[in-house]
Structure 1
Amino acid sequence: MSCTNELARLKAVYQFQDLEPAPDRALDDLTALAADLCQTSMALVSFMGADHQWVKSKVGITLTEIRRDLAFCNHTIRQSDVFVIPDTLDDLHFATYPFVTHSPHIRFYAGVPLVTAGGCVLGTLCVMDSEPRDLSQKQRQGLQTLCYQVMAQLELKRNTTKLRQIIPEIKQLKQQLIAQELLGQQDSILFNLANQIRNSLDLDTILQTAVNEIHTLLQVDRCDFVWCLPHGDQFRFTVTHEATNSEIPSALGELPVEPSSILTQAILNLEMLRVEDISATSTVLTPQDRALLHRLQATSVLLLPLKTHSGQLGALICHHCHGSRQWTESEVRLLKAVTDQVAIALDQAELLAQTRATAFAAQAQANHLGTALSQLQQTQMQLVQQEKMSSLGQLVAGVAHEINNPVNFINGNIAYATDYVGDLLELLNLYQSTYANPTAAIQEKVAAIDLDFLSEDLPSLLSSMRMGGERIRQIVLSLRNFSRLDEAEMKPVNIHEGIDNTLLILKSRLKLTSAKFEIRVTKNYGNLRPVDCYAGQLNQVFMNILGNAIDALDETSNPTITIHTELINRSKNSELDLSQPSPTDSVVIRIQDNGSGMTETTRQKLFNPFFTTKPIGKGTGLGLSISYQIVVEKHGGILRCSSELGKGSEFWIQIPVEPLVKNT
C-alpha cells in the first residue's frame, strides 16, 4: 500500500524522526560512501517535514536544519528516480537560492528519495559540490543502491527502538509464564519418574533421571545422589549420580564426611537438612561440614534422605553455589515427593541390580581373560618377529663370514697378479724391441690373439676385477653392519650407515615393481652426529617402514622414496609443533613415498597391534607396532605418520641424540 497524501507522509516522517537522536555510525558511513562514490565534497541524509528539512547525517557540511522552501531536496521527494542539477547557476529556479549565492556555494546537486515499505517518502540521500558536474550511469545506480541501504538502516533502528520499548512487557509476561509453568513442571517430573519406574528397572537410569529433572526444574547448580554404605563400624558416603552446571566442580566419588557431621546425622536419622547460607553462624553445621561444602563451592544446601526396604540409605542433595538461597515450601515438597518415588524405584530395581552385578563380575572376568589372551598373542607374535630378525641377523652374519674369506683371498691375489702381468708385459715389450723381426709363427700368433688389444685391455681387466672384489667386500661389510649381533647395548651409531645398509638388503625389491617401474630412492642427508641407540633394533624400524613404502608403491607409476635426515636443536623443537618436544637435541628421519596414501581411519589404527591392510598371509600387523615400541619405549623418541589418500605417506622418526630411556 503506497503513501498517497502529504498527511500520511508527515506521519511516517515523525515516526522515524522520534528515533533515538544519538549519532548513527552506520548511517554516517553510508553518507560518506555516497560522497566518495560521486566524488563530491558534501553529502547528507535528511527528513523532510512540513516546514523544515532535518539533517540526520552529513559529510562536508555543517547545516542541521533547512527551510523547506529553500531546500533542493523539496524537489527530490517528488521524484521516482535520481534527481540531478548539473549546474545550479544554469537553472533559473535554483540560481538565486541562498546556498548557491552564499556559503557553501552549491553548484552541483544529486538526490534520491528515501521511501518506506509503505510507499511514504521520508526525505532524501543527496550529494553536493561547489563545482558543476554530472553523474555517470554507474554512479546513479550506486546512489540508488545506497539509498536502499540507508532506508534499511532506518527501518532497523526503528524496529530496535520498538523492541526496547516492549522488553519490559516481555519480561513481565515471562515471569508470569515461569510461575504458571512451575506447577506444571512439578507434576511433570513426578510423572517422568513414575514412567521410569514402570518402564525400566535400571538403577542408573532412574537415579540419573531424578538428578537431571531436579537440576533442571529447581534450577540448582548441582544435584547429587549419595549412597550411605556400611564400612566396618562406620559409614562411607559415595556420590554416584550427578547433574551440574559446567562451571561447578564435580562431586562424584567419595565424600570425606566425618561420623559427627550434621550431614551424616541427617542421613542416618532420615531427617531433612535445609541450610540457606552455610556461612551464617546460626547454622548447625560443624566446621568440617563447612570445609567440605566450601570445597564443593556450595553456599546453600537442601538434603532429603531415603531408606529402601532392604535397609540401604541414600540422599538427594541440592547445592546452590552463588550466595544464600531461600528454599521454598513448594521446592521442599517437590523434592520430598521425588525422594519417595526414587525409594520405590530402588526397591523394585534391587533384585535386578544384584543380578546385573553378578553378570558384570562374570563379564569383567571374561574381559580380563580376553585381554590376557590378546596380550599373550601379541607377545607371542613379537617373539616370533624378534626371532625372525635374530635368525636373519645370524644368517646374514654367517653368509658374510663365509663370503669374506674367499673375497679376501681374491683381493689379496689380484694385487700380485697385477704386478706379475705388468712385469710380463714389460718383458714382452723388451722382446719386441730386441727381436724386431719375429718368425712367421710368432707373427701369426700375435695376429690371432690381437696382442696390442690384449696388452692394452689386460690391465683394465685386472683393475675391474679389483673393483669388483672391493664391491663384494663392501657388501659383506654392510651385511655385517646390518645384523649388529654384537651390539646389544646402546652405543654411538652412524644413522646414515644403518639406512644405507637397510637399502642394500632391500635392493632387489627396489628394482622392479609389478607395474614394471624401478623405485627411485632420493637421499637428502643432513650433517648428523652419532646417536646413542640400539643399532640392530633401529635397523629393524628402517626395514619395516621402508618395506611398507615399497609395498605401497607396487602399482604406482614413477615410484619414489625420499629419505630426509636432519639434526634438530632442542631450542627449535617448539617450532616443529611436536606433541612431545625432546629435552635434548634430536635426529629426525623422514621417510616419504608417493604411493596411494591412506584414509584417516587407517592412519589412526596404524600402530595398533595386529592391524594390517595387507592380504591374509602377507602381513602380521606387528611391524609398525614393534617399530613404535622400539622408537618410543626403547629410545624415548617419537614415531608418527602423516598421509593423505592419493598423495602418499610420510613417517617421522625422531630419536634423541643422548638417551632418555635405557631399556634392555
Structure 2
Amino acid sequence: MKGISQHTLKDEIGGLPMTGIDDEPLYKKIVRVKTLHQNLAEQAAPVSIDHAREASKLFGLTKQIRNSLELETILQTTVAEVQKLLRNDCCYFLWRLESGTRDTLVITHEAKSPDCASRLGDLPEAHAEALSEAIARRQTVRIDDVHNRLETSPEFYAFFQPLGIQAALVLPLQTHSGQTGALFCAQCHGVRIWSDTEVELLQALADQVAISIDQAELLARARATAMAAQTQAQQVSAALQKLQQTQAQLVQHEKMSSLGQLVAGVAHEINNPINFIDGNIEPATDYIKDLLELIELYQTTYPEPTEAIRQKEADIDLDFMVEDLLKVLSSMKLGTSRIKQIVLSLRNFSRLDEAEIKPVDLHEGLDNTLVILKSRLRGSNQQDPIQVTRQYSSLPLIECHAGQINQVFMNILSNAIDALETTSQPQIKIETQLVEQFQADVSDSEQPDVPYVEVRIRDNGSGMDDAVQQKIFDPFYTTKPVGKGTGLGMSISYQIIVEKHHGTLQCVSEVGQGTEFIVRIPVQVTE
C-alpha cells in the first residue's frame, strides 16, 4: 500500500510561485526541482542499483532459508541478511496476532544498526489499526518519507513518527495455517527511496519465508508427534515394568505370607508337645530325687544286699547313674527351653497377628532374626563362623509393621552372610541409636523427620563398586548366581522402609572395605 509513490512534476512544483509572481522563468524552476530530486535520491538511497547483484544475493538468501527447517534460524537469518543487503538501518520480522477485538503486532526478530534502539516485543497499539489491516489484506506498505504528507496517510504518520522511523517498507506474508506477519524494513536516519526491483524481490523473499515457516511448523509438529509417541512408549514401558515389579512383589509377598503361616503352624505344633515335656521335667526331677533318696535310705538300712542286688548295681553302674541322672534332667530342661525360645522367635518373626502398625521393640526383632539365622552364622567347612557384635542403645518402642521390619532385617543380614562366604575372620556389626534432632553430617534427603531410630548393619566382606550400589535397590537386580537370588529382597526392603514407613534406606560400600546398610525409621509413623 503506497499512498503516493510516483509524483508528477506538477505535484512537485505545485506549491512553487509562477513566473508572473517572482519573475523566475518556469523552465528554471523545472531544472531546479529535477536537481533537488536527483540530490535527494543520491543522498537518501545509498543502496546499489545493480539489480542483477541484488537479485543474485536475494536468491542466495532464499536458498539459505530453504536449507533450514528451524523457525528461529529462518527468521533471524532473513532479517540479518536483508538488513545487510539493503544497508538500511533496521530490518524486523513481526507477527500479527489476533486477540479479541484488537490485533497485536509483535516484533520477534530484528537486525539493526548499533545506533538504533531495539524494538523487540509488542509495538504500540495506538494508531496500529492501519498497519494491521494492511498486513491482514496482504497489502505492501511502501513509504519513502514519512514526513511527506502527500505520500503518507495520517494513520501511518501517527504510527511511524513516534517510533522515529523516517522510511518504511512492510511486506506481508501469510502461512498455510493462516498466520499473518510481515518483513519490515525501516530507515531511522533520513528518507529512503525503495526501488521497484527491491520491493518485487523482497516480496518474493517474503513469500518464500512463509513457505519455509510452513515447513518448519510441519517439522515441529512431526517432532512433537514423534516425541509424544516416544513418551507414550516410555510410559507404556514404565507401566509394564511397574506391573512386572508389582506382580513379582505380590508373588514374593504371597510366599512370605505362606511362609509365615507355615512357620506359625509349625511353631504351634511344636509348642504344644514341648510345653508338655517342659512342664513334666520338673515334677519328674522331683520324683527321681525322691527315688534316689529312697535308694540311699535302703543302702543305709541294709548295708549288706543280696548277691542279685550287687550284680544288678554293677550291671547298671548305679553310682554313675545316680551322679548323671540329674545332669540328664538338667540338659533336658535346657533343651526344651532352647526349643521354646526358637519357637517364640519364629512366631515373633512371622508376626501374623501384628499386621497393623503397633509399638515394637526393634532389638527383639533383630535378636529373633539372628536366632533364625544362627545355623548360617555358625559357618561351615567352607566358611568360618561369623562373629556378630551388637551395640544397642536405649530405644523407645517404634510404631511400625513388625513383620515387614523383620523382613528387612532378614534381607540385609542374609545378604551380609552371603557376602562373607570367602572372608577370613568374618564379622557383622549391628548398631542402634535414637536421633532426637537434626544431624549436620546427614543430608536432608537421607534422613526422615526427627526423632528417628537409626540401625546400622555392617559387614567386613568384599564390598561393592559404585555401579552395583546404584542398582542395589532396583527390582530384579542381583549379583548372586542364577537360582540363588531373585533380586527382589533389597527392592522390597526399600519399599517397606521408604514408602510404607517414611524412612530411608542407604547403602554405603567400598570395594575391599565391606558394606554398611543404614536404616532410619521415624519413631512415630502415620499411615
**Shorter chain as normaliser: what TM range?**
0.5 to 0.7
Counterpart CA distance in 2 for 1:430 and 1:196 is: 125
Distance 1:440 1:196, change over 3 A: farther
1:597 aligns with 2:483: no
User: Deviation string for 1:309-347 (max 9, x for gaps)?
Assistant: 44336899xxxxxxxxxx999xxxxxx999999756423
Q: Which amino acid aligns with 2:344?
A: L
Instruction: Choose which of 336, 348, 366 in structure 1 pairs with 2:215.
Output: 348
Counterpart CA distance in 1 for 2:418 and 2:255 is: 20
Q: How far off its partner does 1:197 sit?
A: 5.0
Q: How far off its partner does 1:374 sit?
A: 1.5
Asked if the contact 2:360–2:397 (Cα under 8 Å) also holds between the matched residues in 1, the reply is yes
1:486 aligns with 2:350: no
User: Deviation string for 1:436-469 (max 9, x for gaps)?
Assistant: 1112222222223222221111111101101100
Partner of 1:622: 488
Q: Which runs of 5+ in 2 are unaligned?
A: 1-57, 82-92, 110-120, 142-157, 160-170, 191-201
1:39-118 paired onto structure 2 within 5 Å:
none
Asked if the contact 2:361–2:397 (Cα under 8 Å) also holds between the matched residues in 1, the reply is yes
Asked if the contact 1:609–1:621 (Cα under 8 Å) also holds between the matched residues in 2, the reply is yes
SS at match of 2:521: strand
Instruction: Choose which of 354, 367, 371 in structure 2 pairs with 1:500.
Output: 367
SS at match of 1:460: helix
SS at match of 1:573: coil
Asked if the contact 2:459–2:514 (Cα under 8 Å) also holds between the matched residues in 1, the reply is yes
Instruction: Choose which of 342, 352, 361 in structure 2 pairs with 1:475.
Output: 342
Instruction: Choose which of 384, 393, 399 in structure 2 pairs with 1:517.
Output: 384
Asked if the contact 1:307–1:343 (Cα under 8 Å) also holds between the matched residues in 2, the reply is yes
Partner of 2:277: 410
1:384 aligns with 2:251: yes
Instruction: Choose which of 451, 460, 477 in structure 1 pairs with 2:318.
Output: 451
Counterpart CA distance in 2 for 1:239 and 1:470 is: 90
**Identity percentage of aligned residues:** 57
Counterpart CA distance in 1 for 2:300 and 2:320 is: 18
1:606 aligns with 2:465: no
Q: Which amino acid aligns with 2:298?
A: Y
Counterpart CA distance in 2 for 1:393 and 1:407 is: 20
Partner of 2:426: 559
397-406 vs 554-563, greater mean Cα deviation: 554-563
Q: Which runs of 5+ in 1 are unaligned?
A: 1-189, 215-224, 242-254, 273-282, 285-303, 317-326, 330-335
Partner of 1:588: 454
1:647 aligns with 2:513: yes
Partner of 2:15: none
Q: How far off its partner does 1:617 sit?
A: 3.4
Q: How far off its partner does 1:537 sit?
A: 0.8
Asked if the contact 1:267–1:315 (Cα under 8 Å) also holds between the matched residues in 2, the reply is no
SS at match of 1:367: helix
1:632 aligns with 2:521: no
Two-structure CA RMSD over aligned residues (Å)? 4.5
Partner of 1:130: none
Partner of 2:266: 399
User: Deviation string for 1:181-209 (max 9, x for gaps)?
Assistant: xxxxxxxxx999989856553x3784799
Partner of 2:17: none
Counterpart CA distance in 2 for 1:235 and 1:456 is: 113
1:238-257 paired onto structure 2 within 5 Å:
none
Q: How far off its partner does 1:534 sit?
A: 0.6
Distance 1:366 1:467, change over 3 A: same
The structure with the largest alpha-carbon Rg is 2
1:461 aligns with 2:328: yes
1:579 aligns with 2:445: yes
Asked if the contact 1:494–1:530 (Cα under 8 Å) also holds between the matched residues in 2, the reply is yes
Instruction: Choose which of 297, 308, 311 in structure 2 pairs with 1:430.
Output: 297
Counterpart CA distance in 1 for 2:228 and 2:414 is: 45
Counterpart CA distance in 2 for 1:498 and 1:237 is: 73
Q: How far off its partner does 1:510 sit?
A: 2.5
SS at match of 1:604: helix
Q: How far off its partner does 1:573 sit?
A: 3.0
SS at match of 1:579: helix
Q: How far off its partner does 1:381 sit?
A: 0.9
Q: So what's the TM-score if we normalise by structure 2?
A: 0.65
Asked if the contact 1:193–1:341 (Cα under 8 Å) also holds between the matched residues in 2, the reply is no
Partner of 1:136: none
Counterpart CA distance in 2 for 1:422 and 1:511 is: 37
**Greater RCO (CA < 8 Å, at least 6 residues apart):** 2
Instruction: Choose which of 382, 404, 427 in structure 2 pairs with 1:537.
Output: 404
Q: Which amino acid aligns with 2:353?
A: D
User: Deviation string for 1:514-571 (max 9, x for gaps)?
Assistant: 843222222111111111111011111111111222222222222221111111112x
Distance 1:612 1:227, change over 3 A: farther
Distance 1:514 1:432, change over 3 A: closer
Counterpart CA distance in 2 for 1:502 and 1:396 is: 13
Counterpart CA distance in 2 for 1:418 and 1:261 is: 113
Partner of 1:178: none
Q: How far off its partner does 1:359 sit?
A: 3.4
Distance 1:308 1:424, change over 3 A: same
Counterpart CA distance in 2 for 1:208 and 1:424 is: 113
Distance 1:576 1:363, change over 3 A: closer
Distance 1:233 1:381, change over 3 A: farther
Counterpart CA distance in 1 for 2:414 and 2:94 is: 58
